[in-house]
Chain A
């Protein structure tokens, strides 16, 4: 079953929760680097959590182009459809 980008966004909010130490409001346009201030090790933690949740592999070379939660959601959907 494939999910819509909006569905995926909602699931992502839940996954990001424990990493959102500043407790900022999560929106599709929230950025990982600027808003959430994740360091590279935390990012990998988060990547692992996302991969587990959706049972996908998020390739390393995609990361530089993924700035926002919405962009990650789009990437998850496109990987699921492959």
Chain B
């Protein structure tokens, strides 16, 4: 019978990611008894692998990759299944200075072509020389790799068959790129974040030492996938470089049986550290019934981290109401803020503070960041101006305190003209420090768009600082987030443009908020036909096309021709389109009854 790797290990003094490279960190963790564990959807332990065993497997894979002809700087694509096979291959590539690139898993019924296309685009973008995926995925992976002339495309078991001899492994430098992370890019136009050893180590140190402050009795419980920075860095790499045991539940298992997540936390005799985006807390609060709560004990859940999407106070309230009776302590909530371009984390709420909110006038938040300079401060004084187009009393929104920036990161709030703003003024969040990416892989243009010559990263998010804490109010980037997954409007718009009779510029994909405060994706489509029947047909076509290309169910709104706003350079302005749509400035054509 399998036994999970231990939480406690007095034999190995904890080092908080104070290593030059990831292999060096694994070499150290391998001296102890801790490791990673994988549970299935029914809560059965299916893998328990110590860091020592992972190291041995990783080194063997390094030899095999070398035998296949891969060299330092080459890339290997890995389907990011939640398994020790993925972790061993990811680390194996590191030992040979080959860059691993985690690829996503399918998440819905249908859409085979779209998924295969996504894999192919990412593999082309990173110039993959080899691809590894689990048995069941090989068919899809081979399809995606067709005509790519890879040195290897197969399963971990097939990789083991590769005849390889031990070779001298290269000396690694802390400034070398360690891996590529594709979680931030669009699926249609992917770009991989180049993460150096130094960047990942500094950020893991920030998370483990300053953020969650991992202690001797801590164990991590994790559901986010390895193809997201949350799962890869937040859970796997931080725990590995801080020699902490982790219990993984595959994301798809979590989505099927979310209560298994809480069950693992409950069964951990020691203290638990576990992170989730808002939707994870949301589905648990909604699905838990009284019988599920019976033998649950969440009193040892020390850090219930919030990150990965906008943190919604109402959801955390509902979660607390539901689980407080079984010992959940809301001061365990730990809001954080980050992005893949900065490895993962930028700021953490100090330990034990929980969710704290600031009330800001809604009108100030949705407005243009520059013209409203100073409005946030006024709104807080309860004398913010009235909403411009109605006579209603101003509405306020609770903005969550995302905590204090990590000590080695500088954070500034700026206008679009790079004027630095002061306390309580809303603007663009920019970050500088060792965790900031070197750039996007083979994509100088996209890199220059977000990274200045003096090292400041434009996060694409908007927020303000107050008393040393960062408050994130939303995104400048027009990204649409559904259930914790980022979707790029360009991908949705591209899908719609493929329909006959529509052209680029006719379509704006935006995110709107429903009455429950959830984000819903919507497409505004300029519609020429005036008869209701053609309009209804167009709605259905757009909906189906977006669903089949991107897997997203969108709300389709037809709008009159020439109503979508443009920027001065003639480009579609999604933010203006969104503002006008929400404020009633763009009136959609009525749907046929």
Partners in one complex: yes
Q: Which A residues form the contact surface with B (CB < 8 A)?
A: 31-34, 37-41, 43-45, 47-48, 51, 57, 59-67, 72
Rounded to whole Å, the gap between the CB of B86 and the closest CB of chain A is 14
Additional A-B contacts beyond A32-B109, A33-B553, A39-B483 (5; CB < 8 A): A33-B548, A40-B482, A43-B108, A48-B41, A60-B252
Contact sample, A vs B, 20 pairs, CB 8 Å cutoff: A32-B109, A33-B109, A33-B548, A34-B544, A38-B108, A39-B551, A41-B255, A41-B283, A43-B108, A47-B256, A48-B41, A59-B136, A60-B105, A61-B134, A61-B137, A63-B108, A64-B112, A64-B115, A64-B140, A66-B109
Are B551 and A33 in contact, CB atoms less than 8 angstroms apart?
yes
Are A44 and B252 in contact, CB atoms less than 8 angstroms apart?
yes
A64 CA to B256 CA, complexed, in Å: 17
Which 8 A-B pairs have CB atoms at the shortest separation, nearest pair first? A44-B255, A61-B136, A64-B112, A48-B256, A32-B109, A67-B110, A40-B107, A37-B553
A80 CA to B396 CA, complexed, in Å: 54
When distances are taken between beta carbons in the complex, the residues of chain B under 8 Å from A62 are 136
A63 CA to B201 CA, complexed, in Å: 37
Are A32 and B252 in contact, CB atoms less than 8 angstroms apart?
no
Are B106 and A60 in contact, CB atoms less than 8 angstroms apart?
yes
Are A64 and B111 in contact, CB atoms less than 8 angstroms apart?
yes
When distances are taken between beta carbons in the complex, the residues of chain A under 8 Å from B140 are 61, 64
When distances are taken between beta carbons in the complex, the residues of chain A under 8 Å from B106 are 60-61, 63-64
Are A65 and B255 in contact, CB atoms less than 8 angstroms apart?
no
CB under 8 Å from chain A, chain B span 10-46 = 41
When the two chains form the complex, which single residue of B105, B110, B483 contacts A33, counting CB atoms closer than 8 Å? B110
A63 CA to B252 CA, complexed, in Å: 12
| B351 within 8 A of partner (CB) | no
Chain A residue nearest to B540 (CB atoms) is A34
A60 CA to B109 CA, complexed, in Å: 9
When distances are taken between beta carbons in the complex, the residues of chain B under 8 Å from A59 are 136
Are B543 and A41 in contact, CB atoms less than 8 angstroms apart?
no
| B485 within 8 A of partner (CB) | yes
Contact indicator per residue, chain B 245-256, by CB within 8 Å of chain A (1) or not (0): 000000010011
| B71 within 8 A of partner (CB) | no
When distances are taken between beta carbons in the complex, the residues of chain A under 8 Å from B111 are 33, 64
Are A39 and B112 in contact, CB atoms less than 8 angstroms apart?
no
Are A34 and B256 in contact, CB atoms less than 8 angstroms apart?
no
When distances are taken between beta carbons in the complex, the residues of chain B under 8 Å from A63 are 106-110
Are A38 and B552 in contact, CB atoms less than 8 angstroms apart?
no
Are A66 and B110 in contact, CB atoms less than 8 angstroms apart?
yes
A34 CA to B544 CA, complexed, in Å: 5
A32 CA to B109 CA, complexed, in Å: 7
A29 CA to B255 CA, complexed, in Å: 26
CB under 8 Å from chain A, chain B span 284-319 = none
Are B547 and A72 in contact, CB atoms less than 8 angstroms apart?
no
| B279 within 8 A of partner (CB) | yes
State the majority secondary structure of interface residues on A: helix
Are A37 and B547 in contact, CB atoms less than 8 angstroms apart?
yes
Q: Which B residues form the contact surface with A (CB < 8 A)?
A: 41, 105-112, 115-116, 134, 136-137, 139-140, 252, 255-257, 279, 283, 482-483, 485, 543-544, 547-548, 551-553
Are A60 and B136 in contact, CB atoms less than 8 angstroms apart?
yes
Are B548 and A34 in contact, CB atoms less than 8 angstroms apart?
yes
When distances are taken between beta carbons in the complex, the residues of chain A under 8 Å from B41 are 48, 57
A59 CA to B139 CA, complexed, in Å: 14
Most chain B CB within a 10 A radius of its CB, from A57, A61, A63: A61
When distances are taken between beta carbons in the complex, the residues of chain A under 8 Å from B482 are 39-40
When distances are taken between beta carbons in the complex, the residues of chain A under 8 Å from B552 are 39
When distances are taken between beta carbons in the complex, the residues of chain B under 8 Å from A43 are 107-109
When distances are taken between beta carbons in the complex, the residues of chain A under 8 Å from B112 are 64-65
Given A48-B256, A48-B257, A64-B112: A37 and B136 interface contact (C-beta under 8 Å): no
A62 CA to B140 CA, complexed, in Å: 10
Chain B residue nearest to A64 (CB atoms) is B112
When distances are taken between beta carbons in the complex, the residues of chain B under 8 Å from A60 are 105-106, 136, 252
A25 CA to B180 CA, complexed, in Å: 46
A40 CA to B256 CA, complexed, in Å: 11
When distances are taken between beta carbons in the complex, the residues of chain A under 8 Å from B107 are 40, 43-44, 63
Given A39-B552, A61-B140: A33 and B256 interface contact (C-beta under 8 Å): no
When the two chains form the complex, which single residue of A40, A44, A47, A64 contacts B485, counting CB atoms closer than 8 Å? A40
Rounded to whole Å, the gap between the CB of A31 and the closest CB of chain B is 7
When distances are taken between beta carbons in the complex, the residues of chain A under 8 Å from B553 are 33, 37-39
When distances are taken between beta carbons in the complex, the residues of chain A under 8 Å from B108 are 32-33, 38-40, 43, 63
Rounded to whole Å, the gap between the CB of A61 and the closest CB of chain B is 4
When distances are taken between beta carbons in the complex, the residues of chain A under 8 Å from B544 are 33-34
Chain A residue nearest to B550 (CB atoms) is A33
A32 CA to B115 CA, complexed, in Å: 16
Given A47-B256, A48-B257: A41 and B547 interface contact (C-beta under 8 Å): no
Rounded to whole Å, the gap between the CB of B139 and the closest CB of chain A is 8
When distances are taken between beta carbons in the complex, the residues of chain B under 8 Å from A32 are 108-110
Chain B residue nearest to A72 (CB atoms) is B109
When distances are taken between beta carbons in the complex, the residues of chain B under 8 Å from A48 are 41, 256-257
A13 CA to B111 CA, complexed, in Å: 21
Chain A residue nearest to B484 (CB atoms) is A41
When distances are taken between beta carbons in the complex, the residues of chain A under 8 Å from B551 are 33, 39-40
Are A33 and B115 in contact, CB atoms less than 8 angstroms apart?
no
Most chain B CB within a 10 A radius of its CB, from A37, A38, A41, A47: A41
A59 CA to B109 CA, complexed, in Å: 11
Rounded to whole Å, the gap between the CB of B226 and the closest CB of chain A is 14
Chain B residue nearest to A49 (CB atoms) is B256
A39 CA to B140 CA, complexed, in Å: 22
Most chain A CB within a 10 A radius of its CB, from B110, B255, B548: B110
Rounded to whole Å, the gap between the CB of B114 and the closest CB of chain A is 8
A57 CA to B136 CA, complexed, in Å: 13
Are A31 and B110 in contact, CB atoms less than 8 angstroms apart?
yes
